[in-house]
Amino acid sequence: MAGNTFGEIFKITSFGESHGPAIGVVIDGCLPNMPVDFELLKADLQRRKPGQSIYTTSRNESEEYEILSGVFEGKTLGTPIAIIVRNTNHKSEDYAHLADVYRPSHADYTYQTKYGIRDFRGGGRQSARETVARVIAGSFAKMILKALGVTIQASVSAVGELESKLKPDEIDFKAAEQSLIRCADPILEPQMLSIIEVAAADGDSLGGKIICVCKGVKVGWGEPVFDKLHADLGKAMLSINAVKGFEIGEGFNGAKSKGSLQNDAFHLVQTEVKTITNNSGGVQGGISNGELIYFNVAFKPVASVKNVQQTLNEKLENVSLQIKGRHDPCVVPRAVPIVEAMAALVLVDHYLRNLPNQIQLF
Amino acid sequence: MAGNTFGEIFKITSFGESHGPAIGVVIDGCLPNMPVDFELLKADLQRRKPGQSIYTTSRNESEEYEILSGVFEGKTLGTPIAIIVRNTNHKSEDYAHLADVYRPSHADYTYQTKYGIRDFRGGGRQSARETVARVIAGSFAKMILKALGVTIQASVSAVGELESKLKPDEIDFKAAEQSLIRCADPILEPQMLSIIEVAAADGDSLGGKIICVCKGVKVGWGEPVFDKLHADLGKAMLSINAVKGFEIGEGFNGAKSKGSLQNDAFHLVQTEVKTITNNSGGVQGGISNGELIYFNVAFKPVASVKNVQQTLNEKLENVSLQIKGRHDPCVVPRAVPIVEAMAALVLVDHYLRNLPNQIQLF
Amino acid sequence: MAGNTFGEIFKITSFGESHGPAIGVVIDGCLPNMPVDFELLKADLQRRKPGQSIYTTSRNESEEYEILSGVFEGKTLGTPIAIIVRNTNHKSEDYAHLADVYRPSHADYTYQTKYGIRDFRGGGRQSARETVARVIAGSFAKMILKALGVTIQASVSAVGELESKLKPDEIDFKAAEQSLIRCADPILEPQMLSIIEVAAADGDSLGGKIICVCKGVKVGWGEPVFDKLHADLGKAMLSINAVKGFEIGEGFNGAKSKGSLQNDAFHLVQTEVKTITNNSGGVQGGISNGELIYFNVAFKPVASVKNVQQTLNEKLENVSLQIKGRHDPCVVPRAVPIVEAMAALVLVDHYLRNLPNQIQLF
Amino acid sequence: MAGNTFGEIFKITSFGESHGPAIGVVIDGCLPNMPVDFELLKADLQRRKPGQSIYTTSRNESEEYEILSGVFEGKTLGTPIAIIVRNTNHKSEDYAHLADVYRPSHADYTYQTKYGIRDFRGGGRQSARETVARVIAGSFAKMILKALGVTIQASVSAVGELESKLKPDEIDFKAAEQSLIRCADPILEPQMLSIIEVAAADGDSLGGKIICVCKGVKVGWGEPVFDKLHADLGKAMLSINAVKGFEIGEGFNGAKSKGSLQNDAFHLVQTEVKTITNNSGGVQGGISNGELIYFNVAFKPVASVKNVQQTLNEKLENVSLQIKGRHDPCVVPRAVPIVEAMAALVLVDHYLRNLPNQIQLF
Using pLDDT thresholds of 50, 70 and 90, give the confidence band for residue D153.
very high
State how far residue D231 is from chain A, nearest Cα, in angstroms. 21
Instruction: For residue C81, tell me if it sits in a domain.
Output: yes
With pLDDT > 70 as the criterion, what percentage of chain C qualifies? 95
Give the per-residue pLDDT at C61.
67
Contact D320, D309 (CB under 8 A): yes
Name the more confident of C10 and B120.
C10
Q: How far is D254 from chain A (nearest CA, A)?
A: 37
CB contacts < 8 A (B, D)? 44
CA distance C362 to chain A (A): 6
D256-260 mean pLDDT: 96
For residue D327, what pLDDT band results from cuts at 50, 70 and 90? confident
pLDDT at A90 > cutoff 80 = no
Average of pLDDT values for C315-333? Answer: 88
Closest CB to C69: pick one of B17, B28, B81: B17
pLDDT in tens, C200-256: 999 999 999 999 999 999 999 999 999 999 999 999 999 999 999 999 999 999 999
pTM here? Answer: 0.97
Residues A92-99: what's their mean pLDDT?
Answer: 73
The pLDDT score that the predictor gives to residue B44 is 95
Q: Measure the CA–CA gap between C222 and D114, rounded to whole angstroms.
A: 9
Nearest to A15 by CA among A117, A107, A119, A133: A133
D362 within domain boundaries: no
Residue A12: closest C-alpha in chain B: B226
Query: Distance (Å) from the C-alpha of residue A73 to the closest C-alpha of chain B?
Result: 32
CB burial readout B88-108, b (16+ within 10 A) else e: eeeeeebbeebeebbbbbbbb
Residues in Cβ contact with A30 at an 8 Å cutoff, skipping those fewer than 6 apart: A10, A70, A76, A78, A81, A140, A144
Q: Please indicate if any CB of chain C lies within 8 Å of the CB of B84.
A: yes
> Is residue D195 a part of any domain in this protein?
yes
pLDDT surpassing 70 at residue D60 = no
Is C134 within 8 Å of chain B by CB? no
- C-alpha distances (whole Å) from A173 to each of A152, A157, A342, A343, D352 are 10, 11, 18, 16, 48
pLDDT in the model for residue D122: 85
Pick B53 or C64 by higher pLDDT.
C64
Mean pLDDT computed over A38-62: 80
Residue D150, pLDDT > 80, answer yes
Cβ neighbour number for residue A260 with a 10 Å cutoff: 16
Residue C328 has a pLDDT of: 84
The answer as to whether A122 is a domain residue is yes
Residue A59's pLDDT is: 62
CA distance B207 to C325: 61
Inform me whether the C-beta atom of residue D355 falls under 8 Å from chain A C-beta atoms: no
The total number of structural domains in chain C stands at: 1
H helices within chain A, ranges in order? Answer: 38-48, 108-115, 131-147, 173-178, 188-202, 229-238, 251-254, 259-262, 332-353, 355-358
For residues A125 and A108, the answer to whether their CB atoms sit within 8 Å is no
D153 Cβ neighbours under 8 A, 6+ residues apart: D171, D173, D176, D212, D213, D214, D215, D340
Average pLDDT (A147-173) is: 97
Mutation target to probe the C interface, by most C beta carbons within 10 A, among D5, D102, D246 is D246
Confidence at residue D96, expressed as pLDDT on a 0 to 100 scale: 75
- 3-state class (DSSP) for residue D302: coil
Mean local confidence (pLDDT), A171-180: 96
Residue A326: pLDDT over 90: no
Cross-sheet strand order for the sheet of C318-321: C101-102, C309-313, C318-321
The alpha-carbon gap from C138 to the nearest alpha carbon of chain A, in Å, equals 18
Closest chain D CA to residue B32:
D357
What phi, psi does B361 have (nearest 5°)? -80, -30
Q: Does D307 touch chain A (CB under 8 A)?
A: no
First-to-last C-alpha distance (Å) of chain A = 37
- Residue C186 is assigned to a structural domain of this protein: yes
Q: Which of residues 199-228 of C touch D (CB under 8 A)?
A: 199, 202, 204-209, 219-220, 222-228
Residue A155 in 3-state DSSP?
A: strand
Pairing of strands C208-215, C151-159: antiparallel
Is residue A361 in some structural domain? no
Q: What is the pLDDT along chain B (362 residues), one digit of tens a residue?
A: 899 999 999 999 999 999 999 999 999 999 999 999 999 999 999 998 876 677 766 666 677 999 999 999 999 999 999 999 999 866 666 677 778 899 999 999 999 999 999 999 888 999 999 999 999 999 999 999 999 999 999 999 999 999 999 999 999 999 999 999 999 999 999 999 999 999 999 999 999 999 999 999 999 999 999 999 999 999 999 999 999 999 999 999 999 999 999 999 999 999 999 999 999 999 999 999 999 999 999 999 999 898 899 999 999 999 999 887 767 899 999 999 999 999 999 999 999 999 999 998 99
How far does B347 lie from chain D, in Å, by closest CA?
A: 14
| CB < 8 Å to B5, chain C | 5, 11, 13, 28
CA distance linking residue D338 with residue D152, whole number of Å: 11
pLDDT class for A55, splitting at 50, 70, 90? confident
Residues 6+ apart with CB under 8 A from A179: A156, A189
Q: What is the pLDDT of residue A17?
A: 96
Q: Does pLDDT of C91 surpass 70?
A: no
- The DSSP 8-state label assigned to residue C22 in this structure reads E
pLDDT at residue D66 greater than cutoff 90: yes
- In angstroms, the CA B127 to CA D100 distance is 55
Q: Which of C78, C144, C362 sits opposite A357 (nearest CB)?
A: C78
Q: What single letter denotes the amino acid at residue C90?
A: H
Q: Give contacts of B 35-74 with D, CB under 8 A.
A: 35
Q: Tell me what the mean pLDDT of segment C276-303 comes to.
A: 97
Asked if A31 lies within 8 A of C147 by C-beta distance, the reply is: no
Which burial class, exposed, middle or buried, applies to A82 when counting CB atoms under 10 A from its CB (0-12, 13-18, 19+)?
buried
Query: How far is the C-alpha of B125 from the C-alpha of B119, rounded, in Å?
Result: 7
Position D30 in a domain: yes
Residue B256 lies in a domain: yes
Smallest CA-to-CA distance from D171 within D185, D159, D191, D181 is with D185
Look at residue D119 and give its three-state secondary structure.
coil
Q: Chains A and B: how many Cβ contacts under 8 Å?
A: 376
The pLDDT tens digits of the residues spanning C111-145 come to: 999 999 999 988 899 999 999 999 999 999 999 99
Nearest to D287 among C111, C280, C303 (CB): C111
> Containing domain of residue A231, as a range?
5-353
Subunit contact D31:B357, Cβ cutoff 8 A:
yes
Q: Is pLDDT above 80 for C59?
A: no
Summarize the confidence of residues A94-106 as an average pLDDT.
85
Q: C89, C57 in Cβ contact below 8 A? A: no
Q: Is C24 on the interface with D (CB under 8 A)?
A: no
User: Distance of alpha carbon C91 from its chain centroid, rounded?
Assistant: 26
Among the partner-chain residues B158, B225, B310, the one whose CB lies closest to the CB of A3 is B225
| Residues of C with Cβ-Cβ distance to A355 under 8 angstroms | 355-356, 359
E strand intervals along D145-284: 151-159, 162-163, 208-215, 243-248, 266-269, 272-275, 283-284
Judged against a pLDDT cut of 70, whether residue A145 lies above it is answered with yes
pLDDT the model gives residue B58: 60
Contact C77 B114 (CB under 8 A): no
CB-based contact (8 Å) between D349 and chain C? no
Q: Which of B263, B304, B330, B350 to mutate to test the interface with A (most CBs of A within 10 A)?
A: B263
B254 to chain D, any CB pair closer than 8 A? The answer is: no
Is the pLDDT at C105 greater than 90, yes or no? yes
User: Alpha-carbon distance B13 to B30, whole Å?
Assistant: 13
Distance in Å, alpha carbon of A261 to nearest chain C alpha carbon: 31
Residue type, A138: G
CB-based contact A63:A81 (threshold 8 Å) = no
Say which CATH number the domain at C50 has: 3.60.150.10
DSSP 8-state code for residue A81: E
Q: Which residue has the higher pLDDT, A264 or D50?
A: A264
pLDDT score, position A92: 61
- Based on the number of CB atoms within 10 Å of its own CB, is D165 exposed (0-12), middle (13-18) or buried (19 or more)? exposed
Residue D59 has pLDDT above 90, yes or no: no
